[in-house]
C-alpha cells in the first residue's frame, strides 16, 4: 500500500514537472491564455463582461486582466466578446466615438493606459449587411469597424458622421492588455470600452464605411527569419509565421508584424491594392495603429505628391510606449481615386539595444454613398 502511494506520488510529481516544463516552453501569449483560463475557471478573478447603457453611449467592461509579466503587443491577457448594445429594442444607432481606459479591477480607480494594447471593434458582416439587403458586400473585406490602441485610446468621427448599426445587432469586441515596463509587481486591471452613439430618431447622420489598410512585407517561408537576401531584398523578419501572415495574389508570403533592429529605419508600402477604390472615395477619418518606436506614419497620394495624413507619433522618453498618435479627421473630406497610387510611409527609431516588434495600420472611414441612399429610402 505504502509502495503504491509512493508510485502515485512520483507519477504526480512527474506530471506536474512535465506540465511546468511544457508551460515554460510556450510563448508568453500562450502562457497568458492558459493563466487566464485558470484564473477565470477557478473564479480567482472576475470573468464576466459587463454592459452599461445610457441614452448616448454604451460602456463594456472586460473581465479582469492579471498583469504579472512584461507583455509586448499581442502578448498580454485578452478577452473576446460578442456584444449587443440594447437587445430589448431594434433601433438604428450611429456610432460616433470609441474610447478605452484601463481601470483597477474594482473599477474605482483609473489606471495608466500603458496597460491598453488594443481594442478591436468588429461588425459581423453577414448580419450587418443582410439587415440592409446588401448581400454583395459580404466577404468583400475584413469586417472591422475600427481599432484603438496604445497612443490613441480614443477618437471621435467628424461631427455629423457615424457608422450605422442596429441596437440589437451583434458586434464583436477584442480587448488585450499591454505592459512594456512594470516588472516588480502583479496587479489586476480591467478595460472600460465606451462607444458613443446618436440615435437615428434624434438625428440622421451621414454614413461612413470603415476599412483597415496595413503595411506588410515579404519573407521567405522556407527560411523566414533570415531577413533580406539577393533574391528578396525587401524581405522583413516576421515576428512569427502563424499569425499576421498573408499571401499576395502571386502566392508570396507577407508579414504584417516584423522585427526592427536597433536604430532608424524607414519603410514604404503601396496601399492602392488594399484600398480597392472602385471609382473614387471621400476620406473623412484615419486612426493609426502603431507600435512603440514608430516616429512618423504618412499616407501619400504618390500620383499627385500630396501627403494626405502625416502622423507624428510621440513616444515616451522615460519608458517604452506611445504617448500620442494623432488621428486625421475632416468633415469636408479628401477625395481619393482608383487611378492614383497611394503609399504608406513609416519611419521608426528603435532607441534600445534590442530587437523590437513593429506593425503599422490605418483604420480609415470614408463616405458610404450606397448606404446613404439606402437609409434615405427606408422608413426607419
Partner 1 sequence: MKIKLILVFLVVLMSCNNKTSELPILSYNYIDGKKEYYKIDQLEFTNQDGETITSSSTEGNVHTMNFFFTSCPSICPPMRIKQQEIAETFSEEKGFKQYSISIDYKNDTVDQLKHHAELHNIKSAQWNLLRATSEEQLEKIANLLKTNFKPNEDGTDFYHSSYVALIDKEQYIRGFYDILLDEEVELLKQDINSLLD
Please report, as ranges, the residues that interact with partner 1 according to CB under 8 A: 80, 82, 84, 87-88, 90, 124, 126-127, 130-131, 133, 135-136, 138-139, 166, 168-170, 172, 377-379
Q: How far is the CB of 40 from partner 1 (least distance, A)?
A: 15
- Residues 6+ away with beta carbon under 8 Å from 188: 45, 64, 65, 66, 67, 104, 105
127 vs 240 by CB, closer to partner 1 = 127
Q: Cα separation of 42 and 36, whole Å?
A: 10
DSSP string, 259-298: EE-SEEEEEEEE-HHHH--SSEEEEEEEEEEE-TTEEEEE
**128 phi, psi to nearest 5 deg:** -60, -50
Answer yes or no: are the C-beta atoms of 28 and 36 closer than 8 Å. no
Least separation in angstroms between CB 143 and partner 1: 9
CB of 248 to partner 1, least distance (A): 18
Sign of CA dihedral 273, 278, 283, 289: negative
> CB burial class (10 A; 0-12, 13-18, 19+) of residue 97?
middle
Three-state SS at 297: strand
Q: Select 16 or 126, whichever has its Cβ closest to partner 1.
A: 126
Distance, CA of 367 to CA of 161 (rounded, Å): 9
- Cβ at position 349, least distance to partner 1 in Å: 38
* Closer residue to partner 1 in complex, CB, 30/261: 30
Q: Name the residue nearer to partner 1 (CB basis): 33 or 84.
A: 84
Closest contact distance (angstroms) between CB of 72 and partner 1 is: 24
Q: How far is the CB of 136 from partner 1 (least distance, A)?
A: 7
Q: Of 24 and 379, which CB lies nearer to partner 1 in the complex structure?
A: 379
> Shortest gap between Cβ of 149 and partner 1 (angstroms)?
21
Which of residues 80 and 310 has its CB atom nearest to partner 1 in the complex? 80
Nearer to partner 1, 81 or 330 (CB): 81
* Cell numbers for 2: 505504502
Nearest to 275 by CA among 375, 358, 361: 361
Number of Cβ within 10 Å of residue 310's Cβ equals 13
Contact of 323 with 290, CB cutoff 8 Å: no
Amino acid at each position: 500500500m505504502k509502495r503504491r502511494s509512493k508510485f502515485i506520488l512520483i507519477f504526480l510529481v512527474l506530471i506536474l514537472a512535465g506540465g511546468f516544463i511544457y508551460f515554460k516552453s510556450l510563448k508568453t501569449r500562450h502562457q497568458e491564455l492558459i493563466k487566464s483560463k485558470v484564473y477565470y475557471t477557478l473564479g480567482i478573478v472576475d470573468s464576466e463582461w459587463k454592459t452599461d447603457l445610457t441614452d448616448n453611449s454604451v460602456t463594456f467592461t472586460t473581465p479582469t486582466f492579471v498583469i504579472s509579466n512584461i507583455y509586448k503587443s499581442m502578448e498580454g491577457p485578452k478577452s473576446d466578446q460578442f456584444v449587443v448594445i440594447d437587445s430589448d429594442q431594434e433601433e438604428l444607432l450611429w456610432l460616433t466615438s470609441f474610447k478605452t481606459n484601463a481601470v483597477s479591477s474594482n473599477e474605482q480607480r483609473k489606471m495608466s493606459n500603458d496597460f491598453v494594447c488594443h481594442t478591436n471593434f468588429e461588425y459581423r458582416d453577414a448580419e450587418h449587411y443582410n439587415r440592409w439587403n446588401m448581400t454583395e458586400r459580404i466577404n468583400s473585406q475584413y469586417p472591422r469597424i475600427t481599432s484603438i490602441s496604445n497612443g490613441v485610446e480614443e477618437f471621435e468621427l467628424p461631427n455629423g458622421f457615424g457608422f450605422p448599426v442596429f441596437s440589437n445587432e451583434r458586434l464583436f469586441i477584442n480587448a488585450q492588455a499591454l505592459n512594456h515596463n512594470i516588472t516588480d509587481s502583479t496587479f489586476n486591471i480591467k478595460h472600460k470600452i465606451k462607444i458613443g452613439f446618436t440615435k437615428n430618431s434624434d438625428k440622421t447622420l451621414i454614413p461612413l464605411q470603415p476599412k483597415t489598410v496595413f503595411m506588410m512585407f515579404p519573407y521567405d517561408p522556407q527560411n523566414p527569419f533570415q531577413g533580406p537576401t539577393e533574391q528578396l531584398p525587401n524581405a522583413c523578419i516576421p515576428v512569427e509565421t502563424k499569425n499576421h501572415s498573408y499571401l499576395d495574389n502571386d502566392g508570396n508570403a507577407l508579414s504584417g508584424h516584423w522585427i526592427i533592429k536597433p536604430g532608424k529605419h524607414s519603410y514604404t508600402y503601396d496601399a492602392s491594392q488594399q484600398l480597392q477604390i472602385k471609382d473614387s472615395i471621400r476620406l473623412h477619418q484615419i486612426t493609426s495603429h502603431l507600435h512603440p518606436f514608430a516616429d512618423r506614419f504618412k499616407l501619400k497620394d504618390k500620383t499627385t505628391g500630396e501627403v494626405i495624413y502625416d502622423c507624428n507619433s510621440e513616444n515616451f522618453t522615460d519608458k517604452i510606449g506611445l504617448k500620442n498618435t494623432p488621428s486625421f479627421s475632416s468633415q469636408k473630406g479628401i477625395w481619393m481615386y482608383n487611378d492614383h497610387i497611394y503609399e504608406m510611409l513609416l519611419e521608426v527609431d528603435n532607441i534600445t539595444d534590442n530587437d523590437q516588434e513593429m506593425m503599422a495600420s490605418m483604420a480609415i472611414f470614408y463616405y458610404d454613398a450606397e448606404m446613404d441612399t439606402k437609409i434615405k429610402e427606408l422608413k426607419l
